[in-house]
């Protein structure tokens, strides 16, 4: 499918640094996977934010998985909207985020394909900042935006920033654009050519949905895909803090059971991901950088303990729990990989 381009649309010179003046901005499609009718209010809030954009979103593609009830209600609600370019895809399959995103990629016709979660809310200038950045930074293949937690209750803001990755929010604090290994699915985008040659999300990775039981599946579809994209194209993914989205955080995501499950599966994925490393790669560089950030946060928490000892203790407890569970998942993942390799080697010896 040929990408659709926009003609006659210019971006205001006042927003362009360093005298850059691209005459055209790329078209943009937004792909949103969803699976539960309980998320309908969130999806409609996301659509409201799309309609408020200071720059037009060309396509809004909703991929509904399994739920006929959600499909029918969304079709009814979307039909009454002023939003142009919306499409609904229905998959009669069990929810799986990588599969849903891949279906959206197949349908998208724009030059930029963006992914957001169904419980995200875009800042009003999200599309404008995204398209302008692609026009200005021709070297980039993908962009990762800032993801800000939208707490259901202000009291939830105690959660330590260095664990924001557990909420699919960004913990990065850089005020300027910086290269990153990967973005998060609540706010990331790619040029269309990132998916040329059949590159897609690996459907062996990616969660099968959130629920009251917590994280379901290994996850990790974003770093796995981004690794292949940057390796194959030789072009970077850049974090741009001005491309912002809120991400709703419900209370159960801060529950101990959820933290344990989420952290464990993160460790399992890291073990698998590290096993894919080839000579010259350092796939866990991001994780080591995060550990340094966590160490600095711990030192700052010592100062916090003088003024707010209970808050500091609560944050410290969450960090320690997460680290222990990530470590347990990583060790079990490595053990399983070694056992698998041993069985494969034994079969090879018997065959000869």
> Where along the chain do its domains lie?
13-254, 256-352
By the 8 A CB rule, do 274 and 146 touch? Answer: no
DSSP per position, 137-202? -TT-SEEEEEEEEEESSGGGGGS-GGGGGGGT------SS-EEES---TTSEEEEGGGGGGG----
pLDDT of 49 above 50: yes
Residue 243: which pLDDT band, with cuts at 50, 70 and 90?
A: very high
Spatial separation of the C-alpha atoms in residues 161 and 159, rounded to whole Å = 6
Q: How far is the C-alpha of 211 from the C-alpha of 267, rounded, in Å?
A: 20
* Strand 142-151 with 188-191, pairing: antiparallel
Provide mean pLDDT across the span 292-311.
Answer: 94
Q: In the prediction, which pLDDT does 16 show?
A: 46
- Phi and psi angles of residue 62, each rounded to the nearest 5 degrees, phi first: -100, 125
Q: What is the mean pLDDT of residues 60-78?
A: 94
Rounded average pLDDT over 146-170: 97
Q: What residues contact residue 332 under an 8 Å CB cut-off, 6+ apart? A: 267, 268, 271
Q: Name the pLDDT band for 14 (thresholds 50, 70, 90).
A: very low
CATH number of 13-254: 3.90.550.10
DSSP 4: B
Q: Is the CB of residue 255 less than 8 Å from the CB of residue 130?
A: no
Is residue 285 a contact partner of residue 181, using CB atoms and an 8 Å limit? yes
- What mean pLDDT is reported for the chain? 89
Query: If you count them, how many residues does the chain have?
Result: 352
Give the CA count within 13 Å in the CB-facing half-sphere of 81: 22
pLDDT category of residue 166 using cuts at 50, 70 and 90: very high
pLDDT at 147 over 60: yes
E-strand spans in the chain? 28-34, 59-65, 86-91, 112-115, 120-122, 142-151, 178-180, 188-191, 237-249
| Separation between Cα atoms, residue 225 and residue 258, nearest integer Å | 25
| Angstrom distance (rounded) from CA 247 to CA 146 | 10
| pTM of full prediction above 0.95 | no
Kindly give the residue spans of alpha helices, DSSP state H, lying in 33-91. 40-51, 68-79
């Amino acid at each position: 499918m040929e990408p659709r381009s926009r003609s006659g649309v210019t971006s205001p010179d006042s927003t362009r640094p360093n005298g850059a003046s691209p005459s055209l901005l790329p078209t943009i499609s937004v792909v949103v996977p969803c699976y539960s009718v309980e998320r309908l209010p969130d999806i409609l809030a996301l659509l409201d934010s799309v309609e408020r954009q200071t720059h037009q979103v060309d396509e809004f593609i909703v991929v509904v998985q399994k739920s006929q009830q959600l499909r029918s209600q969304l079709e009814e609600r979307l039909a009454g909207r002023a939003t142009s370019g919306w499409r609904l895809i229905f998959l009669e399959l069990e929810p799986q985020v990588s599969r849903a995103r891949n279906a959206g990629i197949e349908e998208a016709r724009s030059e930029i394909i963006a992914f957001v979660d169904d419980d995200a809310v875009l800042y009003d200038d999200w599309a404008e900042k995204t398209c302008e950045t692609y026009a200005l930074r021709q070297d980039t293949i993908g962009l990762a935006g800032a993801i800000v937690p939208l707490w259901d209750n202000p009291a939830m803001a105690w959660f330590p920033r260095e664990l924001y990755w557990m909420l699919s929010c960004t913990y990065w604090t850089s005020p300027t654009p910086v290269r990153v290994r990967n973005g998060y699915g609540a706010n990331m985008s790619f040029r269309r050519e990132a998916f040329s040659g059949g590159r897609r999300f690996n459907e062996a990775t990616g969660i099968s949905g959130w629920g009251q039981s917590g994280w379901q599946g290994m996850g990790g579809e974003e770093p796995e895909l981004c690794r292949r994209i940057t390796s194959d194209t030789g072009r970077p993914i850049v974090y741009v803090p001005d491309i912002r989205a809120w991400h709703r955080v419900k209370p159960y995501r801060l529950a101990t059971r959820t933290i344990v499950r989420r952290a464990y599966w993160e460790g399992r994925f890291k073990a698998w991901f590290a096993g894919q490393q080839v000579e010259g790669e350092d796939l866990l560089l991001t994780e080591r950088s995060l550990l340094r950030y966590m160490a600095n946060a711990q030192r700052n928490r010592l100062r916090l303990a003088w003024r707010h000892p209970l808050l500091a203790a609560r944050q410290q407890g969450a960090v320690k729990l997460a680290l222990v569970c990530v470590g347990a998942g990583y060790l079990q993942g490595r053990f399983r990989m070694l056992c698998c390799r041993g069985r494969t080697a034994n079969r090879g010896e018997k065959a000869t």
